[in-house]
């Protein structure tokens, strides 16, 4: 669906299925009733998530033909994809393996190019297409040869920019790769993204495109700035306590595009002199400790510095740090709720980013990415279709205000 020149959808990473057959079955079951409830009288966009296995199967001409026919039949279209998780996203233990294989590997490069080939086949005329991806690697895997590893990752990102530029020239399709900073990623927050983009990616692009096409530095920069963008995941930016207005201003000044806004909320709680209140919040947080996904915790101290924990169990096993005011946890919770009793969400960050977007369009793509419905505490679980419909209706309401 399109609202004020922005394509709006949700990410299908909530629907299981490592194979294309299994995932397509989930889409066929869930999407028609969701569309009927949310956007019955027009075209509705779709944020598709495919594992490597599913991508290889969908790339077959017969499978693509069947899928495109089904999309047309139900007034659906694909404009964005989630290329972050490579393997099964619904195993019993995803955790840091969501980053595997990382951008230093040929597997990640080939998988991403395959996704773009599929998107090229599905993308309606006149619409740009984007694929979000991991922040190069998982930060704690970096034990040695860090500079070499980063260079390899950056080089392969440039190969994608080259690939997309060629598709742009030959097919007239504009597509972009959207880098998604994430806690404990090799690029984990906005300052690190900007440092990498301006200090590593653009300089490396000058050499890469000069050697291959005798391009000038200005031409190399133009290719990268067109095809390598930022995935602005609001949950991840809130976890880092980022100032959204300053981030957007810095992007505009550096001529870096936001390829996609991922609308998502994190959990948060206060640490105060009221010991009872603090303990009640931490006790409530234990209900969100589940074994499948990483739920990093970032604490803000009174002096503004941050203290980080790799996962919820590490944070819960220790007393809150001294002189701290607030903690936030990487647990994607429903965007339509702000209050969880003893806990709250970072919904205010979502509302702030949406207001900035309405004043000056930040991206043509907005995607809800709450993938945790099946691991929420039982008291917060509702039927999946009902949950997705409620999120999309809330988002549409905010965008239309």
Q: How far apart are alpha carbons 317 and 319 in whole angstroms?
A: 7
Cis peptide before 101 (omega within 30 of 0): yes
For 337-351, what is each residue's pLDDT tens digit? 999 888 999 999 999
**pLDDT greater than 60 at residue 271:** yes
Share of the chain above pLDDT 90, in %: 83
366 with 263: CB under 8 angstroms? Answer: yes
Q: Which of 88-92, 126-130, 369-373 has the highest mean pLDDT?
A: 126-130
Catalogue the long-range contacts made by 112-115 (C-beta closer than 8 Å, 24 or more residues apart).
112/83, 112/160, 112/177, 113/160, 113/163, 114/52, 114/55, 114/56, 114/59, 115/50, 115/55, 115/81, 115/83
Q: How far apart are alpha carbons 233 and 80 in whole angstroms?
A: 14
The CA-atom distances, in angstroms, between 160 and each of 157, 213, 228 are 5, 15, 8
Q: How far apart are alpha carbons 152 and 103 in whole angstroms?
A: 8
User: Is residue 262 within a helix (H) or strand (E), and if so which, with residue range?
Assistant: strand 258-263
For 303-334, what is each residue's pLDDT tens digit? 999 999 999 999 999 888 888 999 999 999 99
234 with 353: CB under 8 angstroms? Answer: yes
Q: How far apart are alpha carbons 69 and 350 in whole angstroms?
A: 35
The distance of Cα 54 from the centroid of its chain, to the nearest Å, equals 19
Q: What is the rounded radius of gyration, in angstroms, for the C-alpha atoms of the chain?
A: 21
**Using CB atoms within 10 A of its CB, is residue 61 exposed (0-12), middle (13-18) or buried (19+)?**
exposed
Backbone angles phi, psi at 101, to 5 degrees: -75, 150
Structure tokens at 232: 């602005």
pLDDT band at 145 (very low <50, low <70, confident <90, very high): low
This prediction's pTM: 0.96
167 with 178: CB under 8 angstroms? Answer: no
pLDDT band at 255 (very low <50, low <70, confident <90, very high): very high
Share of the chain above pLDDT 70, in %: 99
**pLDDT greater than 80 at residue 143:** no
Specify the residue for token string 């291959």. Answer: 212
Angle between helices 146-171 and 202-213 (to 10 degrees): 60
For 162-192, what is each residue's pLDDT tens digit? 999 999 999 999 999 999 999 999 999 999 9
Q: Please tell me the number of Cα atoms within 13 Å of 326 on its side-chain side.
A: 18
28 with 387: CB under 8 angstroms? Answer: no
Does residue 322 or residue 142 have the better pLDDT? 322
- Give the SS3 label for residue 286: helix
């Amino acid at each position: 669906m399109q609202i004020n020149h922005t394509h709006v959808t949700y990410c299908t990473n909530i629907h299981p299925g490592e194979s294309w057959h299994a995932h397509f079955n989930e889409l066929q079951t869930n999407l028609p009733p969701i569309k009927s409830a949310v956007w019955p009288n027009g075209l509705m966009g779709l944020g598709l998530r495919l594992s490597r296995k599913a991508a290889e199967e969908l790339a077959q001409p017969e499978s693509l033909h069947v899928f495109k026919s089904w999309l047309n039949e139900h007034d659906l279209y694909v404009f964005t994809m989630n290329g972050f998780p490579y393997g099964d996203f619904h195993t019993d233990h995803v955790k840091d393996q969501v980053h595997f294989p990382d951008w230093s590997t040929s597997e990640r490069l080939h998988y991403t190019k395959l996704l773009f080939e599929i998107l090229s086949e599905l993308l309606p005329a006149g619409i740009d297409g984007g694929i979000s991806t991991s922040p190069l690697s998982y930060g704690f895997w970096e034990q040695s040869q860090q500079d070499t590893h980063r260079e390899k990752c950056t080089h392969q990102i440039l190969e994608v920019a080259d690939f997309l530029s060629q598709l742009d020239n030959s097919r007239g399709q504009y597509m972009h790769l959207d880098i998604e900073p994430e806690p404990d990623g090799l690029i984990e927050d906005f300052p690190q993204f900007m440092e990498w983009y301006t200090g590593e990616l653009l300089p490396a692009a000058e050499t890469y495109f000069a050697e291959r096409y005798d391009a000038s530095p200005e031409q190399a920069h133009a290719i990268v700035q067109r095809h390598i963008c930022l995935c602005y995941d609001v949950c991840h930016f809130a976890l880092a306590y980022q100032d959204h207005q300053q981030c957007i201003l810095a992007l505009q000044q550096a001529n870096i595009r936001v390829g996609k806004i991922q609308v998502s909320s994190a959990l948060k709680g206060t640490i105060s002199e009221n010991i009872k209140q603090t303990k009640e919040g931490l006790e409530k947080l234990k209900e969100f400790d589940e074994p499948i996904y990483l739920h990093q915790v970032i604490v803000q101290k009174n002096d503004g510095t941050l203290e980080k924990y790799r996962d919820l169990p590490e944070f819960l096993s220790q007393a809150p740090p001294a002189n701290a005011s607030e903690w936030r946890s990487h647990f994607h919770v429903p965007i339509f709720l702000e209050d969880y009793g003893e806990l709250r969400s970072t919904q205010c960050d979502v509302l702030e980013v949406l207001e900035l977007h309405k004043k000056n369009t930040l991206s043509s793509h907005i995607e809800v990415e709450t993938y945790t419905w099946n691991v929420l505490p039982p008291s917060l679980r509702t039927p999946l279709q009902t949950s997705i419909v409620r999120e999309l209706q809330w988002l549409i309401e905010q965008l239309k205000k």
